[in-house]
Amino acid sequence: MTRQFEMAGNPGENEIIGLVSKVGKDSMRIDAVWPVISNRIRAIPEYVKLFKNAFDDVDSALDINITHIVNSIAAFEIHEWTSFDSPFDDYLNGNKKALKLKQIKGMELFYGKANCSSCHSGSLLSDQKFHSIGIPQFGPGRTRPFDPYARDVGRMVETDNINDMYKFKTPALRNVSLTAPYGHNGAYSTLKAIIKHHLNPVKMNKNWKPEFANLPNAPWLEQIDFVTFSDTREQDRILSSIEIKPIDLTDKEINQIVSFLESLTGKTKNKRPLGKPDRVPSGLTID
């Protein structure tokens, strides 16, 4: 809701983005869009009724503002995708038979020798912080306007702090076995491959090949997608930013960690509580 490209798109794509670009010196202020979004919701009677039922301070269409909309979206996302019914949860709740021996071995490595929990911690298995682990770079990414090409400099796009270059947010690991590919740009198609990258980022980066990402066949994009990957100086900068140190694990131990990560899959898996709706109040087509 606070990012121009995610909230309003790119210049020329729609009428909303025009509001962002016409705010003068503060041209990137996205809040100019929010009143228009709110008015769109207010104009749909079914949404007005739903908001009146959901919020005590909404008695009429004019009471609906962007805060109500944001809180509604957040509540929906939490309700629909939070998952705490995995075998791992059962194990933590006292059922010691919930995990297989291989998964327990993987858990011990995850929280011990492999040092995964130094970043993947807490109930969601993420420290919610940003780190640089040298994921092989490809694709346009999101960069700053004055960069020579669309390299992905990570967190620095937001902070403009060189210390944040190539840092990306630690992903939560619940249901991770269902969410391939892995890495901020999908550089690896399997859990085993992304684990091996964490264990030796420099080696894995240098030996990475585009086919590891299992991309769809799109020859017209390949030249653009791999401009950054073929830039040796950019690759050196990415490698020099890596924060984690190599760890030696056997293939058996890596497979044990994979097995543990699979135990983080909820029993409901992709069967979400609400699921895909038949229709939405706006009447827009559902993808």
Q: How many domains is the chain built from? A: 2
Q: What is the CATH number of the domain that holds 223?
A: 1.10.760
Q: Residue 28's pLDDT is what? A: 64
Element (H, E) at 169: strand 168-169
Beta carbons of 226 and 138 less than 8 angstroms apart? yes
Beta carbons of 57 and 63 less than 8 angstroms apart? yes
pTM value surpassing 0.85:
yes
Q: Residue 25's pLDDT is what? A: 53
Judgement on whether residues 168 and 215 belong to the same structural domain of the protein:
yes
CA-based end-to-end distance of the chain = 21
Residue 97 lies in a domain: no
Q: Residue 269's pLDDT is what? A: 86
- Name the amino acid, one letter, at 214: N
Judgement on whether residues 225 and 154 belong to the same structural domain of the protein:
yes
Task: Pull the structure tokens for residue 2.
Answer: 């606070």
- Name the amino acid, one letter, at 194: I
Task: Pull the structure tokens for residue 192.
Answer: 């085993």
179 C-beta neighbours (distance < 10 Å), count: 13
Domain that includes residue 48, residue range: 4-81
Residue 137 lies in a domain: yes
Residue 103 lies in a domain: no
Judgement on whether residues 71 and 119 belong to the same structural domain of the protein:
no
Q: Residue 221's pLDDT is what? A: 82
Which residue do the tokens 């994009």 mark? 221
Taken in order 138, 140, 144, 147, the sign of the CA dihedral is: positive
Judgement on whether residues 126 and 41 belong to the same structural domain of the protein:
no
Q: Residue 192's pLDDT is what? A: 98
Residue 261 lies in a domain: no
Residue 66 lies in a domain: yes
Residue 256 lies in a domain: no
Per-residue pLDDT of the chain (287 residues; tens, 9 = 90+): 887 777 788 778 888 887 776 555 545 678 888 999 999 999 999 999 999 999 999 999 999 999 999 999 999 999 998 889 999 999 999 999 999 999 999 999 999 999 999 999 999 999 999 999 999 998 877 777 677 667 889 999 888 899 999 999 999 999 999 999 999 999 999 999 999 999 999 999 999 998 999 888 888 887 788 888 888 999 999 999 999 999 999 999 999 999 999 999 999 888 888 999 999 999 999 98
The CA distance from 284 to 277, in Å, is 12
Task: Pull the structure tokens for residue 158.
Answer: 């937001």
According to DSSP, the residues that pair with 130 across neighbouring strands are: 169
Residue 109 lies in a domain: no
Q: Residue 22's pLDDT is what? A: 55
Q: What are the phi and psi torsion angles at 285 (to 5°)?
A: -70, 135
Judgement on whether residues 120 and 244 belong to the same structural domain of the protein:
yes
